[in-house]
Amino acid sequence: MQTGDELILKIEDFSNLGYGIARVEGFVIFVENSCPQDVVKIKLTKVTKNYANADVIEIITPSPHRVKPFCAMQKVCGACQLQFIDYDYQLELKRQITEEAMHHIAGLNIEVPLTIASPQIKEYRHKVQYPVAETKVSKRLLAGYYKQKTHEIVNIKHCPIQPAICDKIIEFIRENAPKYCVSGYNEKKHTGDLRHVVLRCSTSTGKVLVTLVVNSTKVFENLKKFANIIYEQIPQVVGVCINFNPQKTNVILGEKSECICGEYFVEEKILDKTFKIGSNTFFQVNPKSAENIFRYVKDYIKNNLQDAVVLDAYAGVTSFGICISDVCKQIVSIEENSESVRLGEKIAKENGITNIEFHSGDAAEFFKNETRKFDAVILDPPRKGCTKESLDEAFRLSKETIIYVSCNPATLARDLKILTEKGCRVECIQPFDMFCHTYHVENVAIIYK
């Protein structure tokens, strides 16, 4: 086989990165935009010694799980890779992705239950980050998601996975920014003003915080006028902030932000707690699905631990600690982002919560200096997972239970392998659908020492 060859194959399996898997005499071919049980004509785009990649030329016999995508931009936009697969089967595929990671990476013979569905599968995404550019000749602003495997912006006028108000705000910015001489960003030349628009939407209030990310170190007068027009003209906008990012980087947000008008945060309610979310605050993009996860952890602690003292590591604004505070004796929270810690303290105070002890600093360093033992340790690390040192310390500090919340089955499986080699037992793993229509899956693992 070589690049350019065309074959007719049946898709047998599904990979953890959202590709269909076909095999020719045991040789694996990863096929984009395909679903198990599809019979497809494919063209090989890359061939290596161990595997090949391919694109679909023709669907000869569609899988019974194929559906028509509800978004007209699904094939060109890189945001919803699985929208052509029916939702119930998406949940099953995510369960399989988790279970296979446990078997193949962690060496765990564990049965993973069906993924818990998102309460919303449309308009669920309440954090929107659109890159902005402009056309060469007309200087018309473009804003949307990147086309798959490129930095070419798909100019999206309507996105059904985010609240409808987001489309209205983005269109207003596209139409009005040029009137205030606010230009779009040129990534190659590192010129222009507006790099990204970041929206944080509240499911509980319907309000939106708008952040304009600019290629600048300060607010210029026209930008200030434009921010005020957004705030004045769109009633749902609770505030407009400017974030300064003059660096030549792919990082979206710079370190410094300034609130130009209105509030610098939007309020969100999870379970019975009210959170304040700023433009640079880490908070789940799907609040309703996040609520399912918080409830799951809270119910576990309520039903299995009495007067629990819990360590909440990689805590962000201490979302877990705040949500479970009323079923625990004490929460000890550790987060390296000092802004998140200050906001967490403010949120706890406004919710009347007095049993959380906040710490700012690196989790691994905090672990080393901590001598207390905890009834449960909650780990909620980024996609790269925990370091071995952090896992060693979490093991040391936990009396009996570790609750590991992960957005990456592969790194979760790797870390569970380390813990089981230390003598831990994985009681259960529950997948949750946080990012509908993508291959991403969130998991909560309950681990006993």
Band (pLDDT 50/70/90 cuts) for residue 130 is very high
Domain-located, residue 349: yes
Query: Average pLDDT of 170-195?
Result: 96
Tell me what pLDDT residue 301 has.
Answer: 97
Of 15-29, 358-372, 417-431, the least confident: 358-372
Is 85 part of any domain?
A: no
Q: Please compute the mean of the pLDDT values over residues 183-208 and round it to a whole number.
A: 96
Q: Is residue 429 part of a domain?
A: yes
Nearest to 134 by CA among 179, 194, 78, 77: 194
Q: pTM of the predicted model, to two decimals?
A: 0.93
| Same domain membership, residue 263 and residue 241 | yes
Mean confidence (pLDDT) of the chain? 95
Q: What is the pLDDT of residue 171?
A: 97
The domain that contains 350 carries what CATH number?
3.40.50.150
Predicted local distance difference test score (pLDDT) of residue 16: 93
Asked if 303 and 359 sit in the same domain, the reply is yes
Question: Has residue 378 got a pLDDT over 90?
Answer: yes
Do 115 and 133 sit in the same domain of this protein? no
For residues 324 and 381, state if they share a domain: yes
pLDDT higher than threshold 90 for residue 147? no
d(CA 154, CA 73): 9
Share of the chain above pLDDT 90, in %: 89
Q: Specify the range with the lowest mean pLDDT, choosing from 20-29, 140-149, 186-195, 215-224.
A: 140-149
Does 407 qualify as catalytic in the annotation?
yes
Q: How confident is the model at residue 78 (pLDDT cuts 50, 70, 90)?
A: confident
Using alpha carbons, list the distances in angstroms from residue 195 to 185, 187, 251, 257. 5, 8, 11, 14
In a domain, 404, yes or no: yes
DSSP string, 186-202: BTTTTBSSEEEEEEEE-
What does the pLDDT look like over 260-308, one tens digit per residue? Answer: 999 999 999 999 999 999 888 888 899 999 999 999 999 999 999 999 9
Residue 150: which pLDDT band, with cuts at 50, 70 and 90? Answer: confident
The structure tokens listed for 260 are 């130009």
Task: Locate all alpha helices (DSSP H) within 142-186, ordered by sequence.
Answer: 164-176
Residue 275 in domain: no
| CATH code for position 31 | 2.40.50.140
Residue 337 has a pLDDT of 85
The predicted structure's pLDDT at residue 265: 92
What number of CA atoms fall less than 13 Å from residue 21's CA on the CB side?
14
Write down the pLDDT at residue 207: 97
At 202-253, the pLDDT tens digits run 999 999 999 999 999 999 999 999 999 999 999 999 999 999 999 999 999 9
**43 pLDDT tier (thresholds 50, 70, 90):** very high
Is-contact 257 211, C-beta < 8 A? yes
Given this model, what pLDDT does residue 131 score? 96
Enter the tokens of residue 259: 């609130």
For the chain, what is the domain count?
3
Least confident of 104-108, 315-319, 331-335: 315-319
Which one of 407, 424, 428, 436 is the catalytic residue? 407
| Full domain range(s) for residue 46 | 6-66
If asked whether residues 153 and 188 sit together in one domain, one would say yes
Is residue 24 predicted with pLDDT exceeding 80? yes
CA angle, residues 251, 254, 259, in degrees to nearest 5: 140
**Residue 149 above 80 pLDDT?**
no
Q: Are residues 409 and 302 in the same domain?
A: yes
Same domain? 299 vs 427: yes
